[in-house]
Amino acid sequence: MKQINKFSMSIPSKSANEAFARVTVAAFAAQLDPTLEEISDIKTAVSEAVTNCIVHAYPDSIGTIYITGEIIEDNVVKLKIRDRGCGIENVKQAMEPLFTTGGTERAGLGFAVMQSFMDYVRVSSKKGKGTSVILKKKISDK
């Protein structure tokens, strides 16, 4: 896939960075002239992925979250959100709607939101090594 543009950044897993991460990604995606709905979808999916890193990957410490974005052929935004945290033992179970280890105030819908709002979601994880989430969304032609 031909890469047209890219960025990368790393941020500490502090909850104040949830807003920073989604706004930065939205600004990057803005060059494809997305609709308000498309931008909102991307922001929401990124917020879910970054929150997962903060709540689950690094539960008791501050670690680093690595985010890369690419614009590839056909008006597609490709994002990767990666951590070196605790990893997910059972990815399939973690992705089931309503499954959560985050207590009563977490809905367990993070991956369901990502899957609903993006065209492509792939999660790979290794216990003790970390997790990476790849998200893609095609921005419609105007």
Q: Which residues bind another protein (CB under 8 A)?
A: 15-16, 18-19, 22, 36-37, 40, 43-44, 47-48, 51, 54-55, 104-107, 109-110, 112-113, 116
**52 part of the active site:** yes
* Catalytic-labelled residue, pool 48, 90, 105, 122: 48
Report CA 42 to chain centroid distance, whole Å. Answer: 9
Residue 69 beta carbon to another protein: minimum distance, rounded to whole angstroms: 18
Q: b/e string for 91-121 if b means 16 or more Cβ within 10 A?
A: eeebbeeebbeeeeeeeeebbbbbbebbeeb
What's the full length of the chain, in residues? 142
Residue 141 beta carbon to another protein: minimum distance, rounded to whole angstroms: 22
Residues assigned a catalytic role: 48, 52, 106
